[in-house]
Chain A
Amino acid sequence: MKIKIFKILIQSASFVIICFLLWYLRYPLHHFFNAALLFQLSPVITIAANFLSAALIPAVILLIITFIFGRIFCGWICPYGTVMDIVSFFTGIFKKNKETFPKKKSLKYFLLALLILLTALNFQLFWLFEPITIFARGFYFTFYSAANNLSNDFFYYLMSNNPGRITEGIYQISKSIVIENRELFFSNSLSMFIIFILPLFMLLFKRRFWCRYICPLGAVLSIIAAKSLLERKSGECIAKCGQCKDLCRMNAIKDDNTYIKQECILCMDCIQETKCINKYKSEFSFKKPIICNLQKKENPAEKKTGNGISRKEFLSWLIVSAGFIFIALKNKTGSKKANIIRPPGTSGENDLKQKCIRCGNCIKVCVTNGLQPVMLESGTDGIWTPKLDAKTGYCEYECVLCGHVCPTQAIKKLTVKEKMKTKIGIAKIQKNACISWHDGLECLVCEEHCPIPEKAVKVKKEIINGELVKVPYIEESLCIGCSICQNKCPVEGTKGIIVESL
């Protein structure tokens, strides 16, 4: 029982730490201990990012831990798994379920193979199934933004009417530590929330449904965990009452009280003495090193009843994957009219779509709220990739945060000097919308805000409506497309200056 409490403590602690990391992924940022490290833990992201050296080390550490302890990450650390445990605890399904054995667990391996194949075909789809990113997207774009905006609104109404000393104190503290002093907006966040919530609905059918059948990260880890050193010992049990089989949330325990090693997430459910009729306690202990274990050979009969797939399943999955591959090869290009400005440090559309894991780090960390996830504008393989939207913000000239938080280097780590010279778009004056060019009113807000030392927006005098007026024009060789001119342009509707992608 003690180990169960210990596990719950570790699980909640890691959940809190992960939420803390995700919450404080904002300026001022710690350059090493930030949430990017968390995403690099996942070997799936390493595969997706084409085995980049930077993302490799934490993933290898996780694989080593998995080799020693088994799928301890899934049961003890994974934030999405913790969410599932919490949800199934509150729905009460946790206790009612009667599990029957066997169940096919092969789907997740199949999905993993399909995703790797698609990645090889330049259609990276890991972002849809990677559990840490699913959790992070739900956290950033639903929970964090809602909490931030609601508390901002609450304080706004409270403080503008009843500014008392206590409320003021609470407000000052929460403003300096917890919430941001601005309203956040994220487009397409509903689609992300749907992907976050769907696997939780699956919990109505089975506990940890996602982890059993779908999770590609779980599949990678279970391949390693099949040979892990820590093992469950239950050979002495003679009762075969089936209690621990029903308790197991992964449905890893067979009828004869043995278990499938790679399915076990070490949730310690089967170590509850109180539930066991014979007061027999199953144990986890380290097995001897593999070298000593060589003589012991597996029972050939056992192998036959493994998790193989039938011909029918094979064919159906072949058709499904053929469909995916068809989409991958066919439907890649987005519409060319879409004016998508990518954050600085990306090298080409295809490279970004390949490497981007859609964790939302860059979008959340953006100090001006300028980065937004796109939907279908850049093609089916570009869903939720970041773009700079001048309606909500702009690219701060001396800021390189998005490259520093990208776990897969889809946005490269730039120094401030490099970033100042990185061109992401070109501003164009809209002469029939600009108030100076069209109406002859002096404005020059774009020139004032232009961050380039030599000013990419320059001023000349022109005769408009019979009067000599100062009007802006663009020096295209200097403009880097940071979009601050479009963002700050006071003209309503169509802006007088619009940044176009390269």
Chain B
Amino acid sequence: MIKNLNKLFLTKYSRKTFLKILSFGLMSLFLSTVKSKELFAKTTKQLEPRKKRNIQTICDLVAVHGDNIETMAKKIINELGGIEKFVKKGDTVVIKPNIGWNREPEYAANTNPILVAAVVKLCLKAGAKKVKVFDNTCNEEKMCYKNSGIEKAVKEAGGDIFFPDRWKYYAANFKTNAQMQDFPIYSDAVNCDCFINIPIAKTHGHTKLTLSIKNLMGVCGGNRATMHWDIDKKLPEVLAFIKPDLNIIDGYRILIRNGPRGGNLGDVKKTSILIASADAVLADSYASQTLYQINPENIGHIKEAAISGLGSMNINKANIKTFKI
């Protein structure tokens, strides 16, 4: 091969061949740059806030006590008006559970896998084209997905569970002066027909409680640690951007101390309740009042969200149904 290369350099070229070679080289260079610019152009795509369908549920909030999570999940959605109200045929559904930590389900750090699987099954039954499940985890993602049991449960239910891809985080078009301007949002969370938010109720050192509004942090990218600065203002902005269609708070097992990561079975309390509402603020207020006996007025981000008109914090006025199975 080296000998052949030598030949290439030693032969004398006429002017014509020289020009041919030159033009060929220039052409290929030009084409390659044009093509590569197309390929590697910087993205200027910006996400717009999610368009939410106008869904009127039968009542504002449903709470179900019971022991069988699957029947509880079915009951709770039926009482709100049935899954058909939220999921139409051919829809792309995004389910956002809490898979933040590398813990087993019984430690109540992640959403109960049975509940996630039950909701996935219901969505598929209602004719959803695709059910996507993901979370931006705090610990190592593979371990979180596996040890939380959600990966296996969702796959068995027929859902689509995946790790968030770096390239799907887009800059989001928040309103000007928004605190969240520097944080990109995962595009799948916005480009979907139905967004179902399934958090687990836990205590949190900073925000006191982590419920459905706090769970939406999992669709944000960027340096999420800095999101904790002034988080009470930032979380309502995310809620206004995503506008989840349905929030189901997993209160089957809850963390009452040392949240959000837990790790002690003594900190886990079995309350056997599911709370569902189309209004994230109302669901959070109800959960904080009934599960933790904390007035939602004292929880910064819930109060902020209610003030910006994203939902109602007034439990007494709302139409609430409770059931026991």
Binding site for B on A (CB under 8 A): 27-28, 152, 155-162, 175, 181, 367-368, 396-399, 435, 441-445, 447-455, 459, 470, 488-490
In the assembled complex, 5 residue pairs joining A and B whose CB atoms fall closer than 8 Å, in A order, are: A27-B143, A396-B143, A444-B228, A448-B260, A488-B225
- A451-B225 in contact given A156-B167, A161-B40 (Cβ < 8 Å): no
* Residues of chain B contacted by A443 (CB below 8 angstroms): 206, 228-229
Q: Is the CB of A448 within 8 A of B261?
A: yes
**What 0/1 readout, one digit per residue, does chain B (258-289) give for beta carbons within 8 Å of chain A?**
10111110010000000000000000000000
Q: Which of B43, B223, B230, B261 is A450 in contact with, Cβ under 8 Å?
A: B261
Q: Is the CB of B225 within 8 A of A161?
A: no
Q: Does B111 contact A (CB under 8 A)?
A: no
* Residues of chain B contacted by A161 (CB below 8 angstroms): 38-41, 43
Chain B residue nearest to A401 in the complex (CB) = B143
Give the CA-CA distance A143 to B38 in the complex, in Å: 29
Give the CA-CA distance A453 to B255 in the complex, in Å: 11
Q: Which of B38, B103, B229 is A490 in contact with, Cβ under 8 Å?
A: B229
Q: Is the CB of A448 within 8 A of B204?
A: yes
Give the CA-CA distance A417 to B15 in the complex, in Å: 78
Give the CA-CA distance A38 to B236 in the complex, in Å: 54
**What is the total of A-B residue contacts with beta carbons within 8 Å?**
97
Q: Which of A160, A445, A448 is B167 in contact with, Cβ under 8 Å?
A: A160
Q: Is the CB of B167 within 8 A of A453?
A: no
Give the CA-CA distance A201 to B292 in the complex, in Å: 69
Q: Is the CB of A398 within 8 A of B102?
A: yes
Q: Is the CB of B140 within 8 A of A367?
A: yes
**What 0/1 readout, one digit per residue, does chain B (172-211) give for beta carbons within 8 Å of chain A?**
0000000000000000000000000000000011100000
Q: Is the CB of A453 within 8 A of B258?
A: yes
Which of B41, B226, B263 is most buried by chain A, counting CB atoms within 10 A of its CB? Answer: B263
Give the CA-CA distance A442 to B204 in the complex, in Å: 13
Give the CA-CA distance A396 to B138 in the complex, in Å: 11
- Besides A398-B102, A455-B205, A455-B258, 19 new A-B residue pairs in contact (Cβ under 8 A), listed by A number: A152-B166, A155-B167, A157-B167, A158-B39, A161-B38, A161-B39, A161-B40, A175-B163, A396-B139, A397-B139, A398-B103, A442-B228, A444-B228, A447-B205, A448-B205, A448-B260, A449-B138, A453-B258, A453-B267
* Residues of chain B contacted by A27 (CB below 8 angstroms): 140, 142-143
* Residues of chain A contacted by B40 (CB below 8 angstroms): 157, 161
Q: Is the CB of A451 within 8 A of B146?
A: no
* Residues of chain B contacted by A442 (CB below 8 angstroms): 206, 228-229
- In this complex, the interface size class of chain B, counting residues with CB under 8 Å from chain A, is 35 or more
Which of A160, A367, A396, A459 is most buried by chain B, counting CB atoms within 10 A of its CB? Answer: A160
- A397-B167 in contact given A28-B142, A454-B258 (Cβ < 8 Å): no
Question: B214-228: which residues lie under 8 A (CB-CB) from chain A?
Answer: 223, 225-226, 228
- A490-B140 in contact given A158-B39, A443-B206, A448-B204 (Cβ < 8 Å): no
* Residues of chain A contacted by B225 (CB below 8 angstroms): 445, 488-490
Give the CA-CA distance A77 to B38 in the complex, in Å: 46
Q: Is the CB of A448 within 8 A of B206?
A: yes
3 nearest A-B pairs in the assembled complex, by CB-CB distance: A453-B263, A490-B225, A453-B264
Give the CA-CA distance A455 to B204 in the complex, in Å: 12
**What 0/1 readout, one digit per residue, does chain B (31-42) give for beta carbons within 8 Å of chain A?**
000000011110
Q: Is the CB of B258 within 8 A of A445?
A: no
Q: How far is the CB of A432 from chain B (nearest CB, A)?
A: 18
Give the CA-CA distance A155 to B43 in the complex, in Å: 14
Q: Does B106 contact A (CB under 8 A)?
A: no
Q: Is the CB of B229 within 8 A of A441?
A: yes
* Residues of chain B contacted by A398 (CB below 8 angstroms): 102-103, 143, 147
Q: Which of B38, B140, B228, B264 is A445 in contact with, Cβ under 8 Å?
A: B228
Q: How far is the CB of A369 from chain B (nearest CB, A)?
A: 10
Q: Which of A367, A441, A488, A490 is B143 in contact with, Cβ under 8 Å?
A: A367
Binding site for A on B (CB under 8 A): 38-41, 43, 102-103, 138-143, 146-147, 163, 165-168, 204-206, 223, 225-226, 228-230, 258, 260-264, 267
Q: Is the CB of A368 within 8 A of B140?
A: yes
Q: How far is the CB of B124 from chain A (nearest CB, A)?
A: 20
Give the CA-CA distance A455 to B203 in the complex, in Å: 13
Give the CA-CA distance A451 to B260 in the complex, in Å: 10
Give the CA-CA distance A489 to B229 in the complex, in Å: 12
* Residues of chain A contacted by B267 (CB below 8 angstroms): 453
Which of A28, A156, A443 is most buried by chain B, counting CB atoms within 10 A of its CB? Answer: A443
Q: Is the CB of A367 within 8 A of B142?
A: yes
Give the CA-CA distance A157 to B36 in the complex, in Å: 10
Which of A159, A367, A445 is most buried by chain B, counting CB atoms within 10 A of its CB? Answer: A445
Q: How far is the CB of B298 from chain A (nearest CB, A)?
A: 14
Q: How far is the CB of B190 from chain A (nearest CB, A)?
A: 15
Q: How far is the CB of B10 from chain A (nearest CB, A)?
A: 20
Q: Is the CB of B43 within 8 A of A160?
A: yes
Give the CA-CA distance A435 to B167 in the complex, in Å: 31
Give the CA-CA distance A444 to B146 in the complex, in Å: 27
Q: Is the CB of A159 within 8 A of B143?
A: no
Give the CA-CA distance A81 to B277 in the complex, in Å: 66
Q: Is the CB of A444 within 8 A of B206?
A: yes
Give the CA-CA distance A459 to B41 in the complex, in Å: 46
Give the CA-CA distance A161 to B38 in the complex, in Å: 8
Q: How far is the CB of A350 from chain B (nearest CB, A)?
A: 31
Q: Is the CB of A181 within 8 A of B141?
A: yes
Q: How far is the CB of B286 from chain A (nearest CB, A)?
A: 24
- A452-B263 in contact given A396-B139, A443-B206, A447-B205 (Cβ < 8 Å): yes
Q: Is the CB of B140 within 8 A of A451?
A: no
- A159-B167 in contact given A449-B261, A450-B261 (Cβ < 8 Å): yes
* Residues of chain A contacted by B229 (CB below 8 angstroms): 435, 441-443, 490
Give the CA-CA distance A447 to B261 in the complex, in Å: 10
* Residues of chain B contacted by A157 (CB below 8 angstroms): 39-40, 167
Give the CA-CA distance A155 to B167 in the complex, in Å: 8
Which of A28, A396, A453 is most buried by chain B, counting CB atoms within 10 A of its CB? Answer: A453
* Residues of chain A contacted by B102 (CB below 8 angstroms): 396-399
Which of A397, A399, A450 is most buried by chain B, counting CB atoms within 10 A of its CB? Answer: A397
Which of A162, A368, A449 is most buried by chain B, counting CB atoms within 10 A of its CB? Answer: A449
Give the CA-CA distance A459 to B40 in the complex, in Å: 47
Q: How far is the CB of B1 from chain A (nearest CB, A)?
A: 9
- A490-B264 in contact given A27-B142, A448-B204 (Cβ < 8 Å): no
Give the CA-CA distance A267 to B262 in the complex, in Å: 59
* Residues of chain B contacted by A454 (CB below 8 angstroms): 258, 264
- A453-B262 in contact given A398-B102, A489-B225 (Cβ < 8 Å): yes
Q: How far is the CB of B257 from chain A (nearest CB, A)?
A: 9
Which of B43, B142, B223 is most buried by chain A, counting CB atoms within 10 A of its CB? Answer: B142
Q: How far is the CB of B287 from chain A (nearest CB, A)?
A: 19
- A159-B205 in contact given A396-B143, A444-B228, A490-B225 (Cβ < 8 Å): no
Q: How far is the CB of A363 from chain B (nearest CB, A)?
A: 15
Q: Is the CB of B167 within 8 A of A444?
A: no
Give the CA-CA distance A40 to B142 in the complex, in Å: 28
Chain B residue nearest to A157 in the complex (CB) = B40
Q: Is the CB of B228 within 8 A of A490?
A: yes
* Residues of chain A contacted by B39 (CB below 8 angstroms): 157-158, 161-162
Give the CA-CA distance A27 to B102 in the complex, in Å: 14
